Structure 1
């Protein structure tokens, strides 16, 4: 096969049956049968709402990070502010603005898209959009946090230190890894790779219909 363009190609197979096999507190598990290559295949996967993450960069080139407990990996990991796209009709940009306010008590006047990615395409349909937020200021309100968010730590780290931590695998949150590498690349290219905050996102928009 000759590939003439380095671009993922949407190619939806014909789904002959789809069954919700587990309804969870946050997301579900679905089992699909579909036709592919002359055969009928069956695959189970996590049916995810999608999410946004925010790389907040201040005027001193510091990145805001949150240290939060994540039970599946039994780890308090450093990560950017982030949250699910689970509010009906809410745009990804508005979700990112809401999450930055709720998790860091911050707002931003300047927003761009850094990157879109899929987390584990062999096992779930989660899509994540990573935003860059700049021109930051306090909201003036302290958001009430519960559960794992109640004791999370917030800290500003120099971008170069975060890059070092990513490259040494001392931090492994995927949105942090993707986000700071995309940020570094954008900075080296005079910000030419940044996209508008409301840039099209077909992988998410097609699921909403």
Structure 2
């Protein structure tokens, strides 16, 4: 390991990445549980033997879909989100709440349910942890191309916040601009759009 020549820290290996590690847990108590998530408080033990309470939210994982048409337009859905009291522009997304369903199958299901679309071609481009400071939630994002519409008589009847969900097609470059200008703020959508942009620039 080589120290940075004039700043704190070490010079990283080009293949540096996250690594597995698990500190002992001396106690755990479930505080809340429903069909979507559970909340527990773990008491973790650090390497020096100190104990620290940590809240852990454990929801289902989720997937997102960057759906791009033949003219390089990305589909964004506009949906009301109660916790932040805003209507957000997002890529189609949803939770992994069907037992034994693969992430790609879940992505295809959500694309059909939220956007009335099916895709011929799928590529997984991004895996990330949503908020690892307090949650176990993990996300996977796919790019979907070769799009066609779900027949009208087979479309999902959307309810609650999804009932009036608008669908917008935006040129991909303008979507990047909207992210950088702060007009699109949903974290999965931001990460997905910038990941596709980075992939194209390599």
TM above 0.5: yes
Q: Which runs of 4+ in 1 moved over 4 A?
A: none
Match of 1:159 in 2: 172
- 2:98 pairs with one of 80, 87, 94: 87
Please list, as runs of the form range in 1=range in 2, the aligned pairs for 1:110-129 lying within 5 A after superposition. 110-129=121-140
1:72-100 Cα deviation digits (max 9, x unpaired): 00000000000001111111111101000
Question: Number of matched residues?
Answer: 189
Partner residue of 1:46 out of 40, 44, 57: 57
Q: Could you tell me which residue of structure 1 aligns to residue 38 of structure 2?
A: 28
- The CA RMSD over aligned residues, in Å, is 1.4
2: CA distance, partners of 1:158 / 1:121:
32
| 2:180 is equivalent to residue 170 of structure 1 | no
TM-score norm. by structure 1 comes to: 0.86
Query: Aligned partners of 2:168, 2:150: CA distance in 1, in Å?
Result: 17
Q: Distance in 2 between matches of 1:169 and 1:24?
A: 33
Q: Trace 1:51-200 onto structure 2 (pairs within 5 A).
A: 51-140=62-151, 141-189=154-202
Which protein shows a greater Rg?
Answer: 2
**Alignment deviations for residues 86-122 of structure 1 (CA, whole Å, 9 cap, x no partner):** 1111111111010001111111111011111111111
> Which runs of 5 or more residues in structure 2 are unaligned?
1-8
Deviation at 1:24, TM superposition (A): 3.5
1:12 counterpart = 2:19 = no
* Separation of aligned partners in 1, 2:75 and 2:194: 15
Please state how far the C-alpha of 1:25 moved relative to its aligned partner.
Answer: 5.1
1:10 match: secondary structure: coil
Q: CA deviation at 1:175?
A: 1.2
Q: Give TM-score scaled by structure 2 length.
A: 0.89
Describe the SS at the equivalent of 1:66.
strand
Q: For structure 1, which runs of at least 5 residues remain unmatched after alignment?
A: 190-209
Secondary structure of the 2:88 match is strand
| Aligned mates of 1:153, 1:75 — CA distance in 2 | 14
